[in-house]
Structure 1
Amino acid sequence: MRKGIVAGLAVVLVFLFVSVACAANLVVWSSPDNADALHELAQNFMQKNPDVQIEITPLSWEVLYPRILQDLTSGAGSFDVTTWDLMTAGAIAPGMLDLEAFAKEHPELVDPNFDDEDFIPTAKYVYGYWKDKRIGYPFYGAAMFFFYRKDLFSDPALQAKFKAEYGRDLAVPKTWEEAKEVAKFFTKKFNPDSPTEYGIALMLPRTHTLFYMYLNFFGPYRRSPEGIAKFGKVDLDWGDYFTADGLPAFNSEEGVRALQDVIDLMQYAPDPLGSDYGETLEAFGKGMVAMVPQWTACLASWKESPLLQPFEEKVGVAVMPGGTPVSGGWGLGINAASKNKEVAFRFIQYATSKEGDKIQWLKYRIGPTRKSVVEDPEVLADSPWLKEAYVASLDGASHRPRIPEEPRLEDILVGTLSEVLLGQQPNSIETLNLVASEWKKILGK
């Protein structure tokens, strides 16, 4: 009898040991705008996997990026999983787990329902790859969109007045030249009958925001047939600021014209050089402007704005004028130094699955990365604009460089662009040549 009890205790102890050994505590680092969705996805995953504990740690961009680099360089393995901005791909790639190689080594961990081909092609690459290495799965799809006051554009009196003045219908602008006319029309200084004080809200501060905002204007020139003939096809790693052979492309007539488009629009915007995300969000939400280029995260805020009710009748979403909005967004990847790679791999598959992608959009307005979610009837009933404006924007998006030198390049260009917008330097090829020269030094060209 005693031997049986001892044997039974031994089995229990072995079981407990195996359970403890199999348990995992995942540390997940995240940008704040991804954290709420990741928290819910982690809760769902832990309910199905009670032996796993997942800690989501939100970190501001200014903290997150350097901490990722520091950990990957040291090999400390302080985190298992992280969200990473598409611009950081080249910098973080050496320290991230190659997911394709890992999946081949561990086929038993691959979710048969993952459906890798369901990802929107552009999203699959820019949120997943650095060259041939797969460092993440697409988590947060994003491009800038053009939001406008649908009710004002459909107002019969405003339509008649616009047509009388400009000889064409009042419509959402498809080019920046059209945007200038519409912005002027909705600015009281130029049209006392305008229902809004200004035509458009622009965010052009001397920060990284200016670096990506300029691409909304340069992209249409860079990606035009003439631009492709002159600069070559766009390399998704080097982005639209470069030629096909890795030289600066913005120090050109096209770069000057794009900057002039920005300058021309500034007179129709409230404090464009002093405004960033929050200020432009507020300007549109309070009915101060008729149009604004923005990210999709703004929708949650505007849905609570009393002046924008009923929301579906007052807020419209369109592709950016010119058709090449700057891309944003995040991938979800695994630290190569993680001690919990197997569980981490299972978790990121779930977090980027069809189920996870749908939850993220419907509850947190995190842009979908899967074709099936964009085409989902429930999603389209909630956001009918996704099928046309969203996919077209991702597919046609212009991209910032994802090379490791990106932060240094950004600082230099932002400084000069800001000085031009302030009138401290001329908008000329010569001015942009000075930036291009500094970029070449950094890149050793």
Structure 2
Amino acid sequence: MWSIAVLLSGALAISWRTGRTTGLIASVLAAVSFRLLCSDLANISMVLSFLLLCAALSWVLASYRHQWNEMQTERDEMRIMVDHAPLGIALLDKNRRVLRCNPTFREIYGWNEEDIVGRTPPLPESQRESWAGLIEHLQSGKSFVNIETLRARKDGSRFYARISGSPIFSHSAVLIGLVGFIARTDDGRHSDLLELKNLESLVQSSSEFMCVAQLDGRTFFLNDAGKDMIGLSDEAEINDMPLERFFDYEDQDRIKEILRLLPLQRIGLSSQTIHLKQFQTGGRIAVSCSFHVISDPLTQEPSSLACVAKSSGPDDAWGQEDRCDEEVFRAFFHNAPIAIVLVDTAGGPFESNALFQEMLGYEVEELRQMRFGQLVHPEDSPAGRKLFLSLMEGKIGRYQVNKRLVSRNGEVLFTKMTVALMRDREGKPSYAISMVERVAQGSMR
């Protein structure tokens, strides 16, 4: 019996190592050897049975080995793709504890391989509620894709990122984790989409009527304060409504003429006193309005129209309204996730938020004693001054420029600045709002 075991084992070993064809040849040789070694015991039927047994086992074993090799190859290819993917990929439990992740994920969060597995990356306090909402989304069996958010590295520093996730369920249909994906936006800084979301949040926090329409006057956005003011909350009814229909019938022709001229002049227009329509009561609301052209950031061509309306009291109440505007702006500064500075027509930074002050290393009172040109790198100052003068002369309504700023300690900061013109009630240039983002040195053009 030992000879049978040795011959069978040999044939199977050859099949495992070399494949089906060689395994079959080995089975035939094993059967011949069996006949020679056991000539006194083995008859033809025994030899054939042994041959069939060897051939069958060799074929099954070789097939299994082939499938095993294919699985190993696919697994190796998958590991290579995951390890070299330009975005972070991780297997997480539903509490965000990392079970497995690729090198990019570790690099984004600033952890090494030994530390991150089994740990939960820190989550900014402001994002805990939104993460709980995403978990509820996953529990319903749905994935989330390209959510722009704020995340924190191991050292506590924060960065903007785009995240996606797909749920993983147990056999009993209970959520046990997710496959997560993360990518930094704009080299760790917020993207244009996130900036638009932040601006929308600021607009929604305003107590004034703010409306945006297509160039043909069809409305596509009205903030919550505006809806409350005119007593109209149905989004379907608001969308595509001609902007002039928000106003009293007697003022509609005047509004239509302003909207017609606005794209041609490309400057803001103001109207002293007109009346919004109150859709629920049928009454009129006296307001002062300003109208603005919004230009495409790439082509600089007009892309939409904006209307801002404030409740209008007696004419001598303008100063009080201006003070209210200042309070609104200050509230915006405290909530904005980007450095903002207001610059007067002479180039003086008369107001700035905490992020701008931290970036440059100056207190607000120190900045008020300076000229913005003192903060700009000497090589970038002439071009920046030319754009600023064009803005203050009303020739352009906004511009975007890459500019080097110099901090208090002499550090050169590479930034992207988006600068927009603000006008007074008579339509004259009043001051500029500058939003300042840090960018990588290589992105400066």
TM-score range, shorter chain: under 0.3
Structure number with the bigger relative contact order (C-alpha 8 A, sep ≥ 6) is: 1
Higher gyration radius (CA): 2
Query: Would you tell me which structure has more helix in proportion to its own residues?
Result: 1
Q: Where is the strand percentage greater, Structure 1 or Structure 2?
A: 2
